Structure formats: structure tokens, C-alpha cells
Amino acid sequence: MFAYYFNLALRSFKRNKALTALMVLAIALGIGACMTTLTVFHVLSGDPIPQKSDKLYFVQLDPRTRQGMQPGEEPEDQVTRFDAETLLREKRADRQAMMTGGGVSVTPQRKELAPFTASARYTSADFFPMFETGFLYGGGWSAKEDGNRARVAVISKSLNDKLFGGANSVGRQVRLDQADFTVVGVTDGWKMNPRFYDLNSDRYGGAEEVLLPFSTSRDLEMSRNGSMNCWGNTGADATDLNAPCVWIQYWAELGTPAKAAAYRDYLASYSEQQRKAGRYERPANARLRNVMDWLDYQRVVPGDVILQMWLGFGFLLVCLVNTVGLLLAKFLRRSGEIGVRRALGASRRAIFVQCLVEAGTIGMAGGIIGLGLSLLGLWLVRQQPSSYAKLAHLDPGMLLVTFALAIVASLLAGLLPAWRAMQVTPAVQLKTQ
Amino acid sequence: MDIKPILSALGRHRVAALLITLEIALACAVLCNAFFLISGRMGLMRIDSGVDERSLAAVALNGCDGCNAADVNGRALAALRAIPGVRGAGVVNALPFGQRAGDAGVTLDRDGKHFGGVPHFYAFGPSAVETLGLRPAQGRGFVPGDFQRADNFLPADAQVWITRAFADHLWPGESALGREFWMGDYHFRVAGVLAHFARPNPGRSEDGLASAEWSVVVPVSDDSLLGSYVVRADPADLPNVADAARKAMAKAVPEAVLDQAQSRPLSDLRREYFQRDRAMLWLLVSVIGAMLLVTALGIVGLASFWVAQRTKQIGIRRALGATRGDILRYYQTENFLLATAGIVLGMLLAYGGNLLLMKHFELARLPLAYLPAGAVLLWLLGQLAVLGPAMRAAAIPPVVATRSA
């Protein structure tokens, strides 16, 4: 039966080429626009580290003065160096890492390469197992190197290619900010999108090219970047241990929900203890958010992208309403034919199904063309300058969604016209013939 | 033209009439909001930076943290000034469309109770003020004594310039000259008001478009700053001068690394800064175009269907003496009525959509002027779309009526 209806649908297309082409075009345009924007949204709102996003927690504390305090206020997005170093020392989580972004100058040994700047992350030993960096050569450093302010560095695959021509550089020297560092590891093209561990700078860029111990970076007074919030007198250097400034991201890995709950209590009691010691002035106000909660709280998906997605859906809706109108015109124009079929014994149900098959076929054609349009759209998105643009690719899941959306949308558009077509009374139609 | 028979005819085609109305309503809602978004972006892209971008170029150094500022700046400025065609060079902490140096919240009282807003703090040496050609529209210029040494970000107590936009925000309707504001322990007094001076990241800071020009210019001595410079040259010479400046800096300050991305003419920095907005603009324009096309095609399709359905009726009317013009006008009036209903509904939708956008994307309220503009556009579109089918209807000879019976 289905094959027969499908055949009828194809015949009907042939009879009404312009009208059919219009409907296919409308659905294709709507699907193309909608899927392009939806794919970008899907890519950007994804889970950057699915295997453990519910085990990694971002720590927020509230070390500010009472001045300007408002009830129910969120704490600062970052922590002070004093708090970060204390929490790191107390080691209450399964793993923990403090970090900040920065930039270093790299002086290559090869004379033909001019000195250049590289993005850097100053962090502590647990960073590597926590964020599953993976290594091409070597590995991370240990807590001992953190304590010793050791001159060790982990470099990215791309920097290794640039400096050492891709060879195993573990044990070799690299000159950063006029100091010599020993390479202990080369990451294997590791990157996170979004870069959830530090959302202060480029949220969808690649990973840092150089990673080195936080303690070493302070020892050498290397330049840092990202946001910094200070209150009160910062003294000569806002990155001093006791400066009243937040500028460090602190992450804790907690294997079970029970451990997370215990860690929350620990943060509360830590805050209370700091308040008693006179360092904190506000009542305990700590937060512990896992990766997805943190991304949500930080509204990591750019507003433009969400806006474009809604625009895409709005456009699809306009296209669908058009298709409804055109299908209605098409089906009712065939009232005579439907009347004959009804008089020959076709049930209302059969007419309804036949009309829906025709609508679904249009949806399928629209979906195929729409898929082409969304590939074109995504290609256009990738030509954009934003750092996230390069990520816009259609994955198999979204491919299925495209077809499902096209067919569901066209069936929905076909419902009303098919309903109307099924109401055609054979007697009236036969009389006017 | 009597619209009563049209209305009663539409009454018998409620579904189709409703669909056209809905089509136009949706198109109207999307159109008004998209136009509004476009005008917002265009307003941002046209922002007046307050300096002559065509004749200025930025030069930025990295990785010179331990350097002696007086020594490096001396070498850098001498090298820049030696380039043929350079009319001035200065030390800055940041420039419009470049990397920002310091956004900080200010208060209108010493105790920090009355919050003022988050401007960007520019610190300029005497050489930079002159190179940039900044002159206050109100108040006084800086005198040599104003340029103080700042060891830690800014001087503790300074005479500053602020922009008119920021002055109006802090003290609406009052003169800003001589007024004071604080940032923690730092104290500032307004010596002059600049007509325009954009912050490095106009439109993308905390307060969005409203704070695009919230800038404070703090005079500091040249040796308080390090690593960012600005050069002025004739617009015709500037591309060559910017190239020469990059080369000269690498030679004059070999211990630092030149920031290639930030060392460019200001007009290049501006173009790059707004690239994303331009892309968004094209996207909006193409969505509007595609939507208008689809809506027009939908109207053509439905109107053609109606014409086919009413062939007999048209034939009878023509036989009873209706002219071709009458038939044409009938369809045009019908479309006008449907479009009007759609536009009325669409305006409500547009307004509702704008409320949603306002809530989620910190957009301003849709100005009412957009509504009539959208209405006129959709009326025209409807008339244009219906013209073809209506002309075909008018061409139907009366004899058809007798034949198709």
C-alpha cells in the first residue's frame, strides 16, 4: 500500500512541478538554516570531557570584604593565591590543581627561527591526570617538582613540531622567558572545547602550548593573563601570596557524590576558619560546581549562537506555514480525484494516509536538499573568524536529526491539508464533475 | 471598492485565509526583530573611536617583564621616530580595538557605597596624548605636572579626562568638570571631558553597547608604561610606516618579542574587531532575504490555487459586466486585507519576540518606528506576490464560465 501511495505521490509531483518544487525549496531552506544553527549550538554546548565531567569540580570562595555585599550574591569566579595554595597543601580531594593562564617568550635554539610568544598555563602536578591530557612522549611532573620550583615544562605537540621537528624532546632544553627549562612531556594534541578549565580567555581556542609548574612561574615572575579582581590595598604586586586578589582557577576531582558533599562541608568550614582568623569578612559562601554546571553558570555558549539558533527555528516555522498553505492548495485542487476514489470505496483513513505519504515524500526531498544547504551553511560558518567557527562540523547524530526533522516537519505540515482532503464528500465532487 | 463580498468569500476559505495571515504575521515578527538586530550591529560598527584611525598604528611588545621601562621606551621611541614619515610616537597602555589594559569599577564616594560603573582606564604618557591628538571638548588639557609616575597600575591621585558618554552616565545633566570618583584607594578628579573615545572592546564589555565609550584617560609619565606604542603618520604612508615600525622595534628592543597580531594600523585592528559582527550581519540579511522569498512564493502558490478554484465565479462576474480592472482590484484588495490582519498579529508577535530577546540577550526595547517600516514592506511584498495570479485571473474570458460548468 505504502509503495502504491509513494508512486501516486511521485505522479502528483510530475503533474504539478512548480508547486512541488516550491514546497521542496521551502522545506530545504528551512531545514538548512535550522540545522546549520542547531549544529553550531550542539557543538558549542557539548560536554568537553564526558567520561568525568561529573567528577571534576570548580571551587569558588568568597574572600571579599563586607563592603558592597548583597544578600544571595554569588562568590568570586576565581580564588586568591593564598586560598589556592592552602587548599592544594591540605589535599582534601582525590586530586586537585590550581592554575592560571599566561604567556611566555620562546627563544628557539635553531638560529633561523625568530623568538616568538607562546600561550602558557601555570599549574600543579595533578593537572595532567585530572584533565586526561594524554602524552605523545614523557609525562607530567610530580608534586615534588611543584615544591622545588623546578624548571620543567610540558609542551604541546605543535610546539614540539616547531622546535624539535616532531622528535622525542623529553630531556631536552627549551628557553622560556630567558630561562632554561627541561622538557618532561609532550602532549598528544590535547585540547578541550569549550576550554572549561579556564573560561577567562579564549573559550574555544586550542590548548596552551607550554605548561609549567605554578611555583616556577611565580619564581620567575612570568606574565599572566586572564581576569583578576582585587579589593583593598594590593601592595606592590597583585600576584603576591597575600594580595587581596582573585586570579587563580582551582579544580578538585571527587570520585563520588558523597566525596563531593564532604568537600562542600570542608569548603564551608575552611571559609569559617578564615573568617575567624580575620582574613574573610563575609559569612561562608562557597560553591562547588561540576563541569556542566560550571559551563551553564558561565553561559559559555555565545549569545550570538543562541540568537542564530532561534532565528533558524523561526525561519523553519515560516517555511512550514508556507508548506501547509501550498499542500492545502495542492490537495484541495485534487478534490475531484479524491471524490472519485472515495466513491470507489477508499476509506477516509486511506485518503489521509495517502496525503501524508505525499507530504512525507516532499519532506524527504526537502531534507536531502536541506542537508546540502546545511553543509554549505556550516562551511560558511567555518569561514568566520571566531575561534569556535572551526569546530562547526556535522556529526552522524546531527545527520540523523536533519532527516528526522525534515520528515517530522513535513508530516506536521501535511496533517491539516490531509485532514481537509479526507473530509471531501464524494457526492458533491461527483455532481460537479 | 466594496469589501463586504470579499470578506464573505474569505469566510468560506477560512483555513487558507488564516494560513496567509499567519505567514505574514510570522514574517513580520521575524523581520522587525531582525531589522532591529541589524541596526544595533551597524550602530556598533560605526562607533566613533575618537581618534584618527587612518593615521595611527599600534606596536606591541611581549615578554619584557624584567626590563627597565625608561631604557626600553627610550630606545623604542627613538627607533620609531627615526622612521621616515612618522609624525609622532608615544607610549600607551592600550588602544581602541586593541588588547585591553584595565577595566575597573568606580564609585562616586570614598567609602565605595555608590557604584558608578566599569570604565576602561587608559594610561597615557605625554607623548601618547600628543600622538593620538586627544583634546578635551570641555575643561583643560593636561599640564606637565599632571603626568605622574605610577609604580602600581595608576597614580594614587590623578587629574583625568573622561568621555562625555561616561560623564553623562555618572552625573546625568550636570557638568562633570571638577567632580571626583574613586576606584578602591585610587582617587580621580575630572579635568576635562572628551567628546568621544572608545574603550578597547566597545560593545563587548559588561554593560554592552551602553558602555562602548566609557573611557578614563589617566596621565602618567612615559616610564610608568612599557611595551605598547602608537605611531602617527600620513594616512598614505601608514601601511609602509607600520611595516617599518615592526622591523625597527625588533632591532631596537631585541630582548622583547613583537606581538605580530597587535602591531598593526588601527584601521586593521578595527576591521578585525568587527569581523564577527559583519558575519552576523550577513547572516541576518540572508535570513531576511530567504524569508521574504519563501513568504512571497507561498502567497503566489495560494493565490494561484484560489484563482484556479474560482475560475467559474470570475467568468460569471466578467459575463455580468465586471471589467478586468475590477477582477485585478478584487484580488489586490483581498491580499491587502489579509496582509493587514497578518501585520496586526505580526506586530504583537514582534513585540513579544523582542521581550524574549530583551530578557535573554540584553537587547534594547524595539523602537516603534520599526513596526510601520515592516508593515509597509510586507504590504508591498503581498501586492507584488499577488500581482501575477491576479493578472491571470483578470485574463480569464467570460466564456470560460459557461464552458467549465
Is residue A192 domain-shared with residue A334, that is, in the same domain?
A: no
Interface of B with A in 198-217 (CB under 8 A): none
Is residue A65 domain-shared with residue A139, that is, in the same domain?
A: yes
Quickly count: other Cβ atoms within 10 Å of residue B397's Cβ: 11
Q: Is the Cβ pair A25, B297 closer than 8 Å?
A: yes
- pLDDT tens per residue across span A144-176: 988 888 999 999 999 999 888 888 999 999 988
* Boundary (domain end) residue, out of A289, A312, A343: A289
d(CA A61, CA A273): 13
Query: Does the CB of B44 have a partner CB in chain A at under 8 Å?
Result: no
Mutation target vs A (from B26, B115, B381, B386; most A CBs, 10 A cutoff): B26
Is residue A416 domain-shared with residue A346, that is, in the same domain?
A: yes
d(CA B214, CA B161): 11
Q: Is the Cβ pair A324, B361 closer than 8 Å?
A: no
Q: Crossing angle, helix B14-45 and helix B370-394, to 10 degrees?
A: 140
A23, A10, A312, A32: which is closest to B300 by C-alpha?
A23
Domain count of the fold of chain A? 2
Give the closest-approach CA distance of B373 to chain A in angstroms.
20
CA B232 vs CA A17, B25, B199: distances in Å: 64, 53, 19
Highest mean pLDDT, choosing among A76-85, A220-229, B197-206, B242-251: A76-85
B285, B281, B120, B115: which is closest to B204 by C-alpha?
B120
pLDDT above 80: residue B134:
yes
Q: How many percent of chain A have pLDDT more than 70?
A: 97
Shortest CA distance from A431: residue in chain B: B405
pLDDT at position A183: 92
Mean pLDDT over B174-194 rounds to: 88
Q: Considering chain A, what is the average pLDDT of its residues?
A: 85
Whether A186 contacts A137, CB under 8 Å: yes
B362 falls in which pLDDT band (50, 70, 90)? low
Residue A296 lies in a domain: no
Whether B383 contacts B66, CB under 8 Å: no
Is residue A84 domain-shared with residue A217, that is, in the same domain?
A: yes
d(CA B8, CA A12): 32
Q: How many helices (H) and strands (E) does chain A have?
A: 14, 13
Give the closest-approach CA distance of A428 to chain B in angstroms.
14
The alpha helices in A73-177, defined as continuous H runs, are: 81-90, 127-130, 143-148, 157-164
Q: Is the Cβ pair B361, A416 closer than 8 Å?
A: no
- pLDDT tens per residue across span B2-43: 778 788 877 777 877 888 888 889 888 888 888 888 888 888
Give the closest-approach CA distance of A217 to chain B in angstroms.
12
pLDDT at position B167: 92
Q: Is the Cβ pair B297, A236 closer than 8 Å?
A: no
Dihedral sign, CA of A153, A155, A160, A163? Answer: negative
Q: Exposure pattern of A49-87 as b/e (b: 16+ CB <10 Å)?
A: beeebbbbbbbbbbbbeeeeeeeeeebbbbbbbbbbbeb
Q: Exposure pattern of B31-42 as b/e (b: 16+ CB <10 Å)?
A: bbbbbbbeebbe
Residue A295 lies in a domain: no
Interface of A with B in 214-273 (CB under 8 A): 221-223, 230-236
Using DSSP, state whether B127 is helix, strand or coil: helix
More confident residue, A162 or B184: A162
Mutation target vs B (from A34, A301, A321; most B CBs, 10 A cutoff): A321
Shortest CA distance from B151: residue in chain A: A236
Query: Does the CB of B298 have a partner CB in chain A at under 8 Å?
Result: yes
Is residue A322 domain-shared with residue A421, that is, in the same domain?
A: yes
pLDDT at position A432: 60
Is residue A246 domain-shared with residue A319, that is, in the same domain?
A: no
d(CA B91, CA B217): 13
Give me the residue label for grid cell 516550491: A22
Is residue A272 domain-shared with residue A345, that is, in the same domain?
A: no
CA A276 vs CA A157, A203, A270: distances in Å: 47, 37, 10
d(CA A20, CA A359): 10
d(CA A82, CA A244): 9
pLDDT above 80: residue A203:
no
Is residue A331 domain-shared with residue A405, that is, in the same domain?
A: yes
d(CA A35, CA A394): 9
pLDDT at position A155: 92
d(CA B231, CA B96): 14
Give the DSSP letter string of A198-248.
Answer: --SS-SSS---SEEEEHHHHHHTT--EES--EE-S---S-TTSTT-SEEEE
* Boundary (domain end) residue, out of A263, A289, A315: A289
Shortest CA distance from A319: residue in chain B: B294
Give the closest-approach CA distance of B142 to chain A in angstroms.
27
Residue A40 lies in a domain: yes
Residue A272 lies in a domain: yes
Q: Is the Cβ pair A318, B304 closer than 8 Å?
A: no
Give the closest-approach CA distance of A19 to chain B in angstroms.
7
Query: Does the CB of A306 have a partner CB in chain B at under 8 Å?
Result: yes
CA angle A189, A193, A196 (to 5 degrees): 110
Q: Which residues of A touch B112 (CB under 8 A)?
A: 67-68
A53, A118, A75, A62: which is closest to A251 by C-alpha?
A53
pLDDT at position A430: 65
Cell of A295: 559551563
- pLDDT tens per residue across span A238-265: 788 888 888 999 999 988 999 999 999 9
What are all long-range contacts of B13-17, with beta carbons under 8 Å and residues at least 24 apart? Answer: B13/B306, B15/A328, B15/A416, B15/A420, B16/A325, B16/A328, B16/A329, B16/B302, B16/B305, B16/B306, B17/B338
- Do the bridges between strand B157-163 and strand B186-194 make them parallel or antiparallel, or are there none, so unpaired? parallel
Q: Considering chain B, what is the average pLDDT of its residues?
A: 85
pLDDT at position A234: 67
Is residue A265 domain-shared with residue A126, that is, in the same domain?
A: yes
Q: Is the Cβ pair B151, A236 closer than 8 Å?
A: yes
Q: How many percent of chain A have pLDDT more than 90?
A: 17
Is residue A65 domain-shared with residue A26, that is, in the same domain?
A: no
A431 falls in which pLDDT band (50, 70, 90)? low
Residue A180 lies in a domain: yes
pLDDT above 90: residue B216:
yes
Whether A44 contacts A203, CB under 8 Å: no
pLDDT at position B190: 92
Selecting from B15, B290, B361 the residue whose C-beta is nearest the C-beta of A29 gives B290
Query: Does the CB of B20 have a partner CB in chain A at under 8 Å?
Result: yes
* Boundary (domain end) residue, out of A241, A265, A289: A289
Query: Does the CB of A384 have a partner CB in chain B at under 8 Å?
Result: yes
A235 falls in which pLDDT band (50, 70, 90)? low
Query: Does the CB of A201 have a partner CB in chain B at under 8 Å?
Result: no
Q: How many percent of chain B have pLDDT more than 90?
A: 11
pLDDT above 60: residue A433:
no
Selecting from B15, B184, B283 the residue whose C-beta is nearest the C-beta of A231 gives B184
- pLDDT tens per residue across span A28-64: 988 888 888 888 888 888 888 888 888 999 999 988 8
Whether B385 contacts B296, CB under 8 Å: yes
- Do the bridges between strand A56-60 and strand A135-138 make them parallel or antiparallel, or are there none, so unpaired? unpaired
First to last CA, chain B: 28
pLDDT above 80: residue B361:
no
Query: Does the CB of A307 have a partner CB in chain B at under 8 Å?
Result: yes
pLDDT at position B405: 46
Is residue A173 domain-shared with residue A320, that is, in the same domain?
A: no
d(CA A334, CA A68): 72
CA A426 vs CA A342, B12, B122, B404: distances in Å: 6, 19, 81, 19
More confident residue, B355 or B366: B355
Cis peptide bond prior to A194, omega within 30° of 0: yes
Q: Is the Cβ pair B34, A233 closer than 8 Å?
A: no
Shortest CA distance from B63: residue in chain A: A105
Give the closest-approach CA distance of B242 to chain A in angstroms.
19
pLDDT above 90: residue A400:
no
Residue A64 belongs to domain spanning = 56-289
Q: Which residues of B touch A223 (CB under 8 A)?
A: 62-63, 65
Is residue A256 domain-shared with residue A151, that is, in the same domain?
A: yes
pLDDT above 90: residue B215:
yes
A404 falls in which pLDDT band (50, 70, 90)? confident
Whether B159 contacts B142, CB under 8 Å: yes
Q: Is the Cβ pair A26, B297 closer than 8 Å?
A: yes
Interface of A with B in 133-152 (CB under 8 A): none
d(CA B395, CA B312): 13
- pLDDT tens per residue across span B62-111: 767 667 888 888 888 888 888 888 888 888 988 889 888 888 888 888 87
Position B268, amino acid: D
Shortest CA distance from B99: residue in chain A: A225
d(CA B40, CA B283): 14
More confident residue, B268 or B363: B268
A408, A297, A311: which is closest to A359 by C-alpha?
A408
Residue A185 lies in a domain: yes
Q: How many percent of chain B have pLDDT more than 70?
A: 96
